[in-house]
Structure 1
Amino acid sequence: MEDWALIANVLMTGATCFMAYATWLMARATKKSLEAQWKPYVAVYPRLRKDDSQALQLVIENIGSAPAYNVKFEIPSNLMYNAWGISSGGKTKAKIFSEGPFITGIPYLPPRGKRIINWGQFGGILNSLQGKQAEVIIFFSDALGNQEPPVKSILDIVDFEMTAGESSLEYRIATAIEKNFKQVECLNSILEKKLNSYSSKDAYMWAYIAVQLGLPIELAERQKFDDGLSDEQRTSAEMLARSLLKSFRPEMVKDEDES
């Protein structure tokens, strides 16, 4: 009987030790899980602007549940900002980061804290990325000063192509402005040749049209085309100019001009 009692005690001791060890493992796992949940996690991602479906922003956000400290960034050379432009394939006018959070860092970023940067428009961003993705490496610490593992955010906008391509009012305005700007550039080029015409009368006529259209030709500049013209020639040139405007831009001809 004593042997059975001894065996029972040993088994009970072993079971107690096993339960204690299992409880310790569960407590350790729970602690790690809670620690993992109560940590900062900083990410960089693109999003569409709420007021313009053609423009994208770069968002720096702490999506973790604890504050992030001493946030620093390592950015590639093809990550730029203000990359405006509707069409791809052109020369980029985007700016290289020389200031802002990507350069100076962020000393303190609370949970759900954000920094928002205007990235640009779809075409301009594609041009600035030079056909590559932009990889941003983010470094930060927790409240105890412990360095967290670096986070890599991969930035690309290929998947935004359909969503960013919606024909919003802002997009239509931007397209119209871009088209009008090209037309004005072309018209200025034509006028430059016309204003260097061998005929003073013709040059005066084109200068008159340019002024009526609101193109950047100063009144003083216009006067130089008036050299050597008689009153009759000047009047004739203005009549020809009004005739051309009436044919192609009737809204530019006032009633008093027709009289």
Structure 2
Amino acid sequence: MELSAFIVSLVAVIVATTSTLISYLLFRDAKDPHVVVYADPDLKRPSVINLIIENTGRSAAWDVTFQSTKPVPQEAFGIERAPKPAQMNRGPIVNGIPCFGPGSKRVITWGQFDGIRQGIDGDYLDITATYRSQPSLAFWKRTYQTVSRIDIQSFENFDVSDRNWDKQIAEHLKVMVSEVKKLRSLSDNALRVVNVKQSENDPGNQA
């Protein structure tokens, strides 16, 4: 009888401990930083591709550094027969990020399709982000590594139409203002407001 009670108590302790551990791991995972790197088209600059670093986690990432399987190109512009661009020598990919807040982004103007493909000498490259965090229920910083695969081949023949509506509206307004100024500058086509009633009662206008 005593042995059965002991076994039941032991099982209850194990279940409670396991449940607490799982809850803690889930809580910690929800609070951990998560740094990713990806390429994305710039919707306001046709044909331009940005390299974006983002912390999609819910806590700050400290001492973020990056390593890549191939040299990362810089200012890799060119749509067809692009020259091989220079290797990236500045910016967060090279210098790292001392403290990267949750939800923060770093957007790098990377280049255009063929220029980037020439720079990475293939279809993709892998970038590994290494960083640390300070969990709220721990006395030491944890170290993380995230590997992001940057694919460029999927951008072949992607839509490069101009969707910068703000810029287009501003350009149309500029044209309209220019046309109005031209009309006002011509004496024959000058714009003026005439008081119809006053014009009819003016003795000088009567026969």
TM-score in terms of structure 1 length: 0.57
Q: Say which SS state the counterpart of residue 76 (structure 2) adopts.
A: coil
Partner of 1:139: 130
Q: Quote the Cα distance in structure 1 between the aligned partners of 2:102 and 2:79.
A: 35
One-letter amino acid matched to 2:83: K
Deviation at 1:39, TM superposition (A): 0.7
Partner of 2:83: 91
Is 2:23 the counterpart of 1:30? yes
1:94-125 deviation digits (Å, cap 9, x = unpaired): 23211111121101001111111011111211
Equivalent residues of 1:78, 1:130 under 8 A apart:
no
Is 2:111 the counterpart of 1:120? yes
Partner of 1:70: 63
Q: Say which SS state the counterpart of residue 16 (structure 2) adopts.
A: helix
The aligned runs of 1:235-246 (5 Å cut-off) are none
Q: Quote the Cα distance in structure 1 between the aligned partners of 2:71 and 2:62.
A: 26
Deviation at 1:169, TM superposition (A): 4.1
Q: Say which SS state the counterpart of residue 149 (structure 1) adopts.
A: strand
Deviation at 1:133, TM superposition (A): 2.0
Partner of 1:48: 41
* Residue from 153, 158, 175 that aligns with 2:153: 158
1:206-229 deviation digits (Å, cap 9, x = unpaired): xxxxxxxxxxxxxxxxxxxxxxxx
Deviation at 1:46, TM superposition (A): 0.6
Which structure has the greater CA radius of gyration? 1
TM-score in terms of structure 2 length: 0.70
One-letter amino acid matched to 2:96: G
Q: Quote the Cα distance in structure 2 between the aligned partners of 1:99 and 1:82.
A: 11
Q: Which has the larger strand fraction? A: 2
One-letter amino acid matched to 1:159: S
One-letter amino acid matched to 2:58: S
Equivalent residues of 2:62, 2:99 under 8 A apart:
yes
Equivalent residues of 1:81, 1:117 under 8 A apart:
no
Q: Report how many residues are paired.
A: 159
Deviation at 1:79, TM superposition (A): 1.4
